[in-house]
Amino acid sequence: MYLRAISVVKPSTNFMFSEDDLMRITELQKTPNLFKLVTNSLSPSTYGHEVVKAGLILGLFGGVTKQQDGDVLVRGESHILVVGDPGQGKSQLLQAVSLMAPRSVFVCGNSSTPSGLTVTL
C-alpha cells in the first residue's frame, strides 16, 4: 500500500475581523514596546531567545514583493532556518510559528533525510 500526493493544501480559513477585534487592535497599537510584547508572546513557555523570536516574528510579517529588470519578480517572503545546540527549543519555536503562518511547512531534521527533504518540498 502507498500514498501518492501531488500537493498538500491546508484548509482555508476565511478569517474576518469583527468590529470588536478592530477596536482591540487599534488600542493595542498604542501600547509602548509593542514589538517586545509581540516577541514575548511567541512561545511564552520557551524562556529567553528574544533575538531568535524577533527574527521569527519579522519573518511572519514578511516583506514587499519587488519587480526588477522589467518582469522579474522578487518575492517578499523568506525561508527561515534555525540552527543551534540541541535542547534549546528550536523546534518548539518553529512549530509555534508554523501554526500562525498560513503557508508554512514545518520539517524537522530528525524525521527526514536530505534527499527526502529535497524531493518532498
Share of the chain above pLDDT 90, in %: 2
> Residue 76: what pLDDT?
73
Short-list 64, 59, 23, 24, CA closest to 39: 59
Render pLDDT for 6-40 as a digit per residue (tens, 0 to 9).
Answer: 666 666 666 677 899 899 988 988 888 888 888 88
> Residue 121: what pLDDT?
47
Indicate if the alpha-carbon torsion angle 38, 46, 51, 91 is positive or negative.
negative
Q: In whole angstroms, what is the distance from residue 80 CA to residue 91 CA?
A: 12
pLDDT-derived band at 45 (thresholds 50, 70, 90) equals confident
| Mean pLDDT score of the chain | 77
pTM above 0.75, yes or no: no
- Max CA pair span of the chain: 57
Report CA-CA distances (Å) from 3 to 7, 76, 113: 12, 34, 18
User: Who contacts 80 (Cβ-Cβ below 8 Å, separation ≥6)?
Assistant: 55, 56, 59, 94, 97
52: pLDDT strictly greater than 70: yes
106: pLDDT strictly greater than 80: no
Instruction: Please report the beta strands in 32-99, taking only residues with DSSP state E, as ranges in sequence order.
Output: 66-68, 72-74
